[in-house]
Amino acid sequence: MTSMPSTDPRTVVVRYVTAVAEGDLATVVASFAEDATWTYPGDLPLSRVWRGRSAIIDDFLGGVGSLFAPDGAPQVTLTNCLADGDQVVAEWTAVGTAANGRRYDNLCLGIFTVRDGLITAVREYTDTQHVERSLFGGAESPEPAAPVSW
């Protein structure tokens, strides 16, 4: 007898992030409700509310892949996950090599809403300045200022 996947919100999010890390596209797709939304912050080409499973999977997540070198896809590691009811806060790292050769090493946080075993909304928080510099070729960070001596 095949068991049904758990609909517990924390389990759903852990399963989703693990599927991303393992490249399990079928599980990634199956994790989202048809009318899910993903809000990505900032003023980058990726910044907006992505509406619908197809837009999230094909356009947003699929589009991000093209920003990385062929052998530089980001390695995703779940570092923390907290749940309260249908809200789950997940923190993960993503480390890879951008198509432009720059190192991508970012800490990300998502607030997931899970209903009936499916992700219905994600609000992601990340260092968008790092995303702009590493993935979109923005200016490198300036040298840190000399410490102030009192």
Q: Which domains does the chain have, with CATH numbers?
A: 9-134 (3.10.450.50)
Q: What is the pLDDT of residues 63-109, one digit of tens each?
A: 888 899 999 999 999 999 999 999 999 999 999 999 999 999 999 99
Q: What is the pLDDT of residues 17-58, one digit of tens each?
A: 999 999 999 999 999 999 999 999 999 999 999 999 999 999
CA–CA gap between residue 98 and residue 104 (Å, rounded):
6
Whole-number pLDDT of residue 47: 96
Written as six digits, the tokens of 108 are 């990300």
pTM score = 0.87
Say which residues have a Cβ less than 8 Å from residue 87's Cβ, sequence separation at least 6.
Answer: 9, 111, 112, 113
DSSP, collapsed to helix, strand or coil, labels residue 36 as strand
Contact 124, 40 (CB under 8 A): yes
Amino acid at 57: I
